[in-house]
Structure 1
Amino acid sequence: MPTALRLFRYVAIAEACSWAGLLIGMYFKYVAATGDLGVKIFGPVHGALFVLYLAAVLYAARQARWSRATIVVGLVCSVPPLATLWFERRVMARHREPVTA
Structure 2
Amino acid sequence: MQGALTRYRIIAWIVGVCLLALTVGMVLKYGPADDPTVVETVGQLHGFLYMFYLAATFDLSRRVPWPFKRMLLVMLAGTIPFLSFWAERHVSRHWVPEAAPALVE
Corresponding residue number in structure 2 for 1:66: 66
Partner secondary structure for residue 90 of structure 2:
helix
The CA deviation at 1:15 is: 0.6
Distance 2:51 2:6 in 1: 17
The CA deviation at 1:87 is: 0.9
Partner secondary structure for residue 18 of structure 1:
helix
Unaligned runs of at least 5 residues, structure 2: none
Relative to the length of structure 2, the TM-score reads 0.83
- Of residues 72-81 and 55-64 in structure 1, the stretch that sits farther from structure 2 once superposed is 72-81
**Is 2:63 aligned against 1:97?**
no
Partner secondary structure for residue 33 of structure 1:
coil
CA contact (8 A) 2:19 2:79 kept: no
Relative to the length of structure 1, the TM-score reads 0.86
Distance 1:29 1:45 in 2: 17
The CA deviation at 1:4 is: 0.3
Distance 1:78 1:22 in 2: 12
Distance 1:71 1:61 in 2: 6
**Is 2:77 aligned against 1:77?**
yes
Partner secondary structure for residue 79 of structure 2:
coil
CA RMSD of aligned residues (A): 1.9
Partner secondary structure for residue 78 of structure 1:
helix
Unaligned runs of at least 5 residues, structure 1: none
Percent of aligned pairs with the same residue? 28
- Of residues 14-23 and 48-57 in structure 1, the stretch that sits farther from structure 2 once superposed is 48-57
Corresponding residue number in structure 2 for 1:22: 22
**Structure 1 consecutive aligned stretches of length 4 or more whose deviation exceeds 6 Å:** none
